[in-house]
Amino acid sequence: MSSPIDIVAALGAPLLHVVVAGADRGDVRDVFLAEPHDAVPGEPGDLVLGIGVPGLEEAVQLVRRCAASGAAAVIMRTAVATRAPVVEAAQESSITLVAAGDGVPWAHLVWLLRGVIDRSPPSSGTSSVTGTSPGTYDDLFVLADTVAAIVGAPVTFEDSASRVLAYSSGQGETDTARVATIVGRRVPEDVAAHYRARGVFRRLVRSDEPFLVPAGPDGTLPRLVVPVRAGGEWLGSIWAVVDGPVDDATTAELRRAASVLALHLLRLRAQADIARRSATELIRSALWQYTPERVIGQALPGAGPWRVVALSAPESHEADEHLQVWETVLRRHGWRRAVLADLAGDVFAVVDAEGGDEPGTWAWLQAVVHEMDDAGQGWVAVAGTPAMAAELPRSRVEAAELLSIVRSGQGTDPAMSVEGAWDAVVLHRVLGAVDLAVPGSPLRVLLDHDADHGTAYVPTLGAWLEHYGEPLRAAKVLMIHPNTLRYRMRRLLDVVDINVHDPRQRLALYLQIEAARKATERAT
């Protein structure tokens, strides 16, 4: 079960969109078809469909009755749900109001909604954080057998990435290409290349008409291919191993089967999205506060301990966009079920701290980031110290702190841990506590002198202190001649009284200058 917002997001436009996001009323438990004069429309937690609402006044009354009964949300046609009185009634009642596309049959919508609700994990429970349940695919295999009986030939269902979703059983006559496809769960590359060269995939993307693919090399038999689409979007295809062209009646049956398969594929996508959202919420909660290992352990790679890793990408994106970028990158490099979550504006991964170099481990992620950031483009992955499940919030805080250090220009490695950057962490924490207004400090005098006279005494003193005893390096940093550096130092010592031979004064001044510089950077 999931919230109405999650379900709407999973099915998405043009099927559904939220008009009013009401108060959280818990998980959706069932779908209820409301009649205009129902005194109590459904049970608490129901998703109420206003199918028989005849007019605007009845729609307003239904919204109010649903709010009073504890319904989770109300769904009406867009033409009704977007009218001002209905919207106002939903806002006043704090109930979620959802608009359904006018072209979506109610029967199809009910079927999709019940599929998502029945097979979605609880939003606060412990089950199914890894994906769609195996039982979800049972219906597809039954459908594949039905389609095979219609066409009288072996059948496979594939998604838009040529991955096998289901296949028919009981037919012995086939070819090696079909066997390899079923065994490998996707179309073999040489077979895919053959179909690609014949323009099969271009035709699948552009058309919804069934077509025949002639026999290919190595005994590959002809295929009748049926595109599967929904709302203009290509979702997948049906492939039937045939001897040649089929009659019009069979083609018509296959079209109907494609429509049913489209609903199944929409349901699969919705369930996968719900499961992914549930897993992300679980990880986000574990990074923020204590979560028992029995709850979170099944979602984490390896057996622990783990590291929380703060991630950053070169482009400037919102956190949810960064999350998608890293999901794509990590999946491309082999981590199929990357444990990621966005929290407080940053993106975090949870990796196995002690595993080898396989996907999902810290060593593997370091290698990936070093490979991607060989030109210094801005890919960053910085890790907190190892932690068990209950300690993940602490590791997350450490990783976030280290990421802020890297962003301030203090990091030397795009994939480092807190242990490897302990000196930068110490300095960062000390600078955060430095008081710039301590009476008697010469920093304020020098800052005012620079502002009033256009001098550069503060950066000069900072470089001199950072490279104490190395005037040539200090001058190089300032891009001035060493004699100019010496001249400035003599002049600024005429302005303020500093004992340059006292190591405590040198350290205190250096920390104050660094803290002032960071404060200026934050202000700009």
Confidence of residue 83 (pLDDT cuts 50, 70, 90): very high
What angle, 0 to 180 degrees and rounded to 10, lies between the N-to-C axes of helices 471-478 and 482-495? 90
Higher pLDDT, 350 or 39: 350
The CATH class of 136-266 is alpha beta
Residue with tokens 């179909």: 195
| Mean local confidence (pLDDT), 489-503 | 87
What does the block give as tokens for 300? 């984490």
Note whether 4-119 and 136-266 share their fold: no
Which pLDDT score, from 0 to 100, does residue 229 have? Answer: 86
Q: For residues 137 and 145, what is the distance between their CA atoms, to the nearest angstrom?
A: 13
Strand partners, 30: 46
Mean pLDDT (the chain, rounded) = 81
Query: Mean pLDDT: which of 167-171, 275-279, 306-310, 339-343 is highest?
Result: 306-310
pLDDT at 20 over 50: yes
Structural domain spans, the chain: 4-119, 136-266, 295-421, 443-523
CA dihedral 476, 479, 484, 489 (to 10 degrees): -70
DSSP-derived secondary structure for 482-507 = HHHHHHHHHHHHHHS---TT-HHHHH
Which pLDDT score, from 0 to 100, does residue 423 have? Answer: 78
| Mean local confidence (pLDDT), 353-364 | 83
What does the block give as tokens for 443? 């920093």
Least trusted range by pLDDT, from 39-53, 202-216, 378-392:
39-53
Least trusted range by pLDDT, from 78-82, 362-366, 434-438:
434-438
Confidence of residue 36 (pLDDT cuts 50, 70, 90): low
Higher pLDDT, 494 or 103: 494
| Mean local confidence (pLDDT), 319-326 | 77
Residues of the chain above pLDDT 70, percent: 86
pLDDT at 489 over 70: yes
Which H helix or E strand runs over 5? Answer: helix 4-11
Q: Tell me: the pLDDT tens digits for 134-191?
A: 445 567 787 888 888 888 888 888 888 788 888 887 555 567 777 767 655 677 777 7
Q: For residues 204 and 357, what is the distance between their CA atoms, to the nearest angstrom?
A: 39
Q: Tell me: the pLDDT tens digits for 400-456?
A: 889 888 887 776 788 888 888 887 878 777 877 777 777 778 888 888 888 888 899
pLDDT at 193 over 60: yes
Cβ burial of 76 (10 Å; 0-12, 13-18, 19+) is buried
Out of 3.40.1760, 2.40.10, 3.90.70, 3.30.70, which CATH number does the structure's domain 295-421 have? 3.30.70
The domain defined by 4-119 folds into 3.40.1390
Q: For residues 479 and 16, what is the distance between their CA atoms, to the nearest angstrom?
A: 61
Higher pLDDT, 381 or 273: 381
Which pLDDT score, from 0 to 100, does residue 378 have? Answer: 78
Q: For residues 255 and 365, what is the distance between their CA atoms, to the nearest angstrom?
A: 46
